[in-house]
Structure 1
Amino acid sequence: MYLSSLSELAFGSRLKALSDHFYLAADEVYRACGADIESRWFPVLRYLWESGPSAVGDVAAAIGQTHSAVSQLADKLEKQDMVRRLRDPDDGRRSVLALTDKAVKALGTLGPIWSAIRRGVVASLGEEGTRLLATLAACEKALAERPIVPAILAEYAQLNEAPVEIVAYQPELAPDFYRLNAHWLQKYFQIEDIDREMLGNPGRYVIEPGGAVFFARKGGEVVGTVALLRESPGVYELSKMCVDELFQGLGVGRKLLDAAIAEYHRRGGTTLFLESNSRLKTALNMYEKAGFVFQPAIRPGSHYARADVYMIYQPDAVRAA
């Protein structure tokens, strides 16, 4: 499921999808059992049934909804003759919500249905349902103690201020090498056999033959990577350059490129080339500015089916031009 792949980013969307699913299921049950009620009415009606006439603010606080949402629902319930507004006997300046006789009668017939809903949920979800309820309670408690908006904004400020750092290959970062490149390749092209081998084991196919891999990190997040492949003594290929789309526009790609070029010079390389695709205009422009020169034809014996661009690093020729 796509939303599950987004993890924390889709918290609200996933909970809404679950909420809609349960609302629709309850409505279907109510209709099948002949109950004159809708599932979205339940929290307000049940609270008033148990607590008696109550102010909108008190209902909202009890069921975890906004004052506006409860007030709007109360308007609908008034039109359905399920709720009426009365003057608060303790404070004539405000009104309270009270159940009508129609609502009391309707709610009085729902005992068997509510019991069946409880038992049906257990039968359908089993232990997962029990754990979900416990987790929801824990989340509600945590949110009450630690509001989420200030927490997110604090993380954003910290991440925004963190510099982009370039780090060399470490075995524990190998999954990020696969993650970043696989996502990029699947979006624009497809993962070829040569990609699959290298991405799955960069230590064996890049580092051991004499190459290098660099990663860009920002605030602890791995946001980009690049590989310097050793083809033969002094000859290197720039490959597997990609930046997480969420962090593009921050100069991450150029920092990675500069790190790979610096490593090429440190090793005394004589030739540095890359293969790419003409669709990747932004990347090609960056390579050209760094000193890579377009060649008139694709590289002889190219390993990549997607490659239609061949560039060689010639910084002196570019400066002379």
Structure 2
Amino acid sequence: MYIASLGKLALGSRLKALSDQFYGAADEVYQARGARIESRWLPVLRYLWDVGPRSVTEVAEAIGQTHSAVSQLTDKLVRAGMVKRGRDAKDGRRSVLALTDKANHALGELGPIWCAVRQGVTASLGEHATQLLEAIAACERALQERPVAEAILAEHAALLATPLEIVPYAPQWREHFYRLNAAWLERYFHIEDIDRAVLSDPEHYILEPGGAIFFARLGNEIIGTCALLQESPGVFELTKMGVDETFRGLGAGKRLLEAAIAEFHRRGGVTLFLESNSALKPALGMYEKAGFRFQPAIRPGSHYERADVYMIYEKPAS
């Protein structure tokens, strides 16, 4: 499932989808058994059933929903004849919600269904049901101690204050070499056999023949990569450059390109070339600004089906 691949980024979406499944299952059961409530009514109705008349604020605090959400749900329950608004018998200035006779009668018939719900959830989810409830309780406690928006904003501020680093290849980042390149290849073209081989084993295809791989790192995030592949003594190919497009404006591509060119000079390289595609205009513009010059034809013996651009780096005059 795609949404699962987004991990913590889509936590809210996955929880909502899971919540909708449970709501839908409960409504299906209520309808099949002729119960006169809806699943989304349960927290308010059951709370008022257990503790008696309470204010909207008290209900909201007890069931963990906003005052606005409970107020809107109350309007629906009033229209459905399940809840009535009234005055607190002990404090006439205080407005409270109370169950109607209709609600009391409807809830009074739900014991067998609620028993079946508990047992059915256990039968369906097994030990995961208990684990899920424990995990939810732990999350609720953690969120009370530190709201997630507060934590995210703090992390964002820290990330923006972190300098972008260009670092050499390390084995623990191998997956990012594949991930970052696969993203742009699949978006604009497709992963060719030569791509798959190199991306799956960069040590063998790039490092062992005398090449180098660089990563752009922002804090703990790897957001870009590129490689310098030695084709023959003194001849290098700039290849496999990929930058996460959600990190635009940080200059990662430019910094990676500068690092690769500097390494080319450090190794006393004679020729540095690249192959690309005319559809990648922003990248081609960056290469040109760095000193690469378009060649009149594609490179003889090119390994790439997508390559219709051949550029060679011209060393600046010393």
TM-score, structure 2 normalization: 0.98
Residues 1:157 and 2:157 aligned together = yes
Structure 2 residue identity aligned to 1:175: E
Per-residue CA shift, 1:95-129, capped at 9, x if unaligned? Answer: 10000000000000001111111111111111122
Return the alpha-carbon distance in structure 1 between the equivalents of residues 167 and 240 of structure 2. 15
After the TM superposition, list the runs of 4 or more consecutive aligned residues in structure 1 that deviate by more than 3 angstroms: none
Aligned partner of residue 126 in structure 2, secondary structure: helix
The Cα of 1:91 is off from its aligned counterpart by 2.8
* Counterparts of residues 1-321 of structure 1 (less than 5 Å): 1-316=1-316
Structure 1 unaligned segments of length 5 or more: list them: none
Return the alpha-carbon distance in structure 1 between the equivalents of residues 17 and 156 of structure 2. 27
Return the alpha-carbon distance in structure 1 between the equivalents of residues 13 and 202 of structure 2. 36
Per-residue CA shift, 1:51-78, capped at 9, x if unaligned? Answer: 1000100000010100011011111111
Identity %, equivalent residues: 69
Structure 2 residue identity aligned to 1:212: A
Root mean square deviation, CA, Å: 1.2
Answer whether contact 1:53 1:99 (CA < 8 A) is retained: yes
Aligned partner of residue 273 in structure 1, secondary structure: strand
TM-score, structure 1 normalization: 0.97
The Cα of 1:315 is off from its aligned counterpart by 4.2
Return the alpha-carbon distance in structure 2 between the equivalents of residues 79 and 40 of structure 1. 15
Answer whether contact 1:181 1:240 (CA < 8 A) is retained: yes
Aligned partner of residue 85 in structure 1, secondary structure: strand
Per-residue CA shift, 1:172-212, capped at 9, x if unaligned? Answer: 21111111112221222111111111111111111110000
Structure 2 unaligned segments of length 5 or more: list them: none
The Cα of 1:89 is off from its aligned counterpart by 2.5
Aligned partner of residue 93 in structure 2, secondary structure: strand
